[in-house]
Amino acid sequence: MYPIDFFLRAAARFSDRIALDTPQGAWTYDRLRRESLALATVLQTLDPAPQSRVAICAGNTAQHVVALLAVIAAGKIWVPLNYRSTKPEIVRILEATEPSIVMTDGMGDALVDVGQAMHIRLDAQVGEQALANLLKTYEGREPVRCEPGTDATQAIKFTGGTTGLPKGVMQPYRAWTAVIVNQIHAWKLTSEDRYVVAAPVTHGTSTYLLPVLAQGGTHVFLEESSPATITAAFRERGGTLSFMPPTLIYMIMAQPGVSRADFPKLRNLIYGGAPMPVEKFEQVREFFGPVIGSTYGQTESPQIVTVITPEDFADPANVGSVGSATWFSEFAIMDAEGRIQPAGQPGEVVVRGDLVMTGYWRLPEKTAETLVGGWLHTGDVGVVDERGYLYIKDRLRDVIITGGFNVYPIDVENALAQHPAVYECSVFGIPDDKWGEAVQAAVQFHPGLSVDSQELMTFVRDRLGPVHTPKCIHVIDSLPRSPVGKVLKNVVRDSVLKEAV
């Protein structure tokens, strides 16, 4: 059984139910099936080769969902392009994957240089390559069944920075199937569920798309994703669950006049992509009620290695945990010598099972560093208790998770280093109530040169975008260094934290 089969079975069973509830209208399961299969046939006609890459850069729309389901049904490999990224990052992904077909809408057009790839416009009504025209031309046609094996690649999702080689995570069919089954089981999804699409389809929403559809539920799309529109979807459109980063949850709570009464049918508010401090968690649960859940995973083992449900959080001992292992997954705590640690002993979180990637796209050395002895090395430090509940303590890697997005310090450091006044710098994350972690930087100038912090922030923003831009830049006369001259990032970070107290 392949991931697309979950949708096709549901479409046969729930043909007249609403699959997508959008500001532009409703897509029944039957309509979504017909349009997705017609577009899948288009993709196979344009490029008959199985397992070729198809990139999509689009906003949160029904057409984006049609395009994604078509890629899966056609036996192609999905390459998601986040419309919130910068153009250089999109260029690097396209150069690395060499897709034969690229699909965009007005949100993605400005970022994507299609090059030699064939181009489909998802929001166009006329023209040879307009989606509306293609659906009309191929109406009623279905693609050739493609079964490349469960270890074959379903998606290449990129993790890492915008400098150097991007890392494309090859997610296999088996990982997607495991995600579908585990999401259905964890959140007890039914045909009555209405999932409010708050996160981009290219990110968190993609791991909820097929699970909700598999059960005959509905995805509720918004005109734009904001605290007000999300709240209105729960209050007026019957939203029952959603996934979003903690920072967005805090923004929803901060709206004047908004209360628990605005979420009458909410039963699962799932946070992820960033840590939530215990004190903030208690505030969130007090505001929304006993509906808060969370998952732990990475792009390399998507979304749901562990899960903790609202029922689990009823036990005070579980507050601060990311839960226990899901089906088809196994995790352990490993020391630096590769020995599995007993309960209560910290070490690196390692994962194996169906969720784990097959490797990084065309990066065998990086793959070998991360997949060792059958275990995926996550770079996270954790502790497991006697019951099997995992607690994440720290990260071995330097990645900063801010507002649900990964920021790699080396990318920001490389950008800052391009400024003529900057001699050296150190970028790090510090705990932040709104963002989970805030990107901050310490900078040492060349002798006789200086520039104000705001100019440096603008300098970074112009090159990497707002997510990577430091919230604060600290000027230091001489950065602390090790005996071999390496900047001591932890010393810098600790100094900043002391000053903040």
Dist. CA 208–CA 290, nearest whole Å? 21
Between CA 45 and CA 151 the distance in angstroms is 25
Strands 371-372 and 329-334: unpaired
Chain centre distance of CA 302? 9
pLDDT at 397: 67
In contact, 313 and 306? CB cutoff 8 Å: no
Distance CA 403, CA 465 (A): 14
pLDDT attached to residue 162 = 34
For residue 302, the model assigns a pLDDT of 94
pLDDT tens, position by position, 32-66: 999 999 999 999 999 999 999 999 999 999 999 99
Angle between helices 206-214 and 173-187 (to 10 degrees): 70
Is 164's pLDDT higher than 50?
A: no
With tokens 């628990």, the residue in question is: 260
Q: Which of 201-205, 292-296, 301-305, 449-453 has the lowest mean pLDDT?
A: 201-205
Pick 221 or 165 by higher pLDDT: 221
The answer to whether 293 and 269 are in contact (CB under 8 A) is yes
Instruction: Say if CB 400 and CB 428 are below 8 A apart.
Output: yes
The Cα 102–Cα 90 span in angstroms is 12
The mean per-residue pLDDT over the stretch 163-183 comes to: 89
Cα–Cα distance for residue pair 56/464, rounded to 1 Å: 21
Q: Kindly give, in sequence order, each residue whose CB lies less than 8 Å from that of residue 134, ignoring residues fewer than 6 positions away.
A: 38, 39, 42, 120
Tell me phi and psi for residue 273, to 5 degrees: 85, -10
pLDDT band at 389 (very low <50, low <70, confident <90, very high): very high
Domains of the chain: 3-381 (3.40.50.12780), 400-500 (3.30.300.30)
Q: 320 is written with which tokens?
A: 């601060």
Residue 113 near residue 91 (C-beta atoms within 8 A): yes
- Compute φ and ψ for 57, nearest 5 degrees: -125, 105
pLDDT, residue 481, reads 76
Average pLDDT value over all residues in the chain: 93
Best mean pLDDT range from 185-189, 376-380, 485-489: 185-189
Residue 88 has which token pair? 């250089």
Is the pLDDT score of 80 beyond 50? yes
What integer is the mean pLDDT of 440-451? 93
At 298 the three-state DSSP class reads strand
- State the burial class of residue 500 (Cβ atoms within 10 Å of its Cβ: 0-12, 13-18, 19+): exposed
Give one DSSP letter per residue of 51-94, joined into a string. T-EEEEE--SSHHHHHHHHHHHHTTPEEEE--TTS-HHHHHHHH
**What is the Cα–Cα distance from 192 to 203, expressed in whole angstroms?**
24
Report whether pLDDT(163) > 60.
no
Question: Do the bridges between strand 77-80 and strand 53-57 make them parallel or antiparallel, or are there none, so unpaired?
Answer: parallel
Burial class (CB in 10 A: 0-12, 13-18, 19+), 449: exposed
Q: Is the pLDDT assigned to residue 252 strictly greater than 90? A: yes
Residue 393: pLDDT band by 50, 70, 90 thresholds? confident
Cα–Cα separations (whole angstroms), residue 383 to 47, 80, 340, 341 = 48, 33, 11, 9
Reported confidence tier of residue 161, pLDDT bands at 50, 70, 90: very low
Residue 459, helix vs strand vs coil: helix
Calpha distance 114→100 (Å, rounded): 9
Strand partners, 400: 407
Residue 483 pLDDT > 80: no
Q: Which residues does 325 contact at the CB level (< 8 Å), separation at least 6?
A: 305, 306, 331, 388, 390
Mean pLDDT of 288-310: 96
Judge whether 414 and 163 are in contact, CB under 8 Å: yes
Cα–Cα distance measured from residue 263 to residue 285, given in angstroms and rounded to the nearest whole number: 13
pLDDT per residue as tens digits for the range 95-105:
999 999 999 99
| Whether 122 contacts 130, CB under 8 Å | no
**Do the Cβ atoms of 269 and 287 come closer than 8 Å?**
no
Looking at 197-323, which runs of residues are DSSP E strands? Answer: 218-220, 241-244, 268-271, 292-298, 301-308
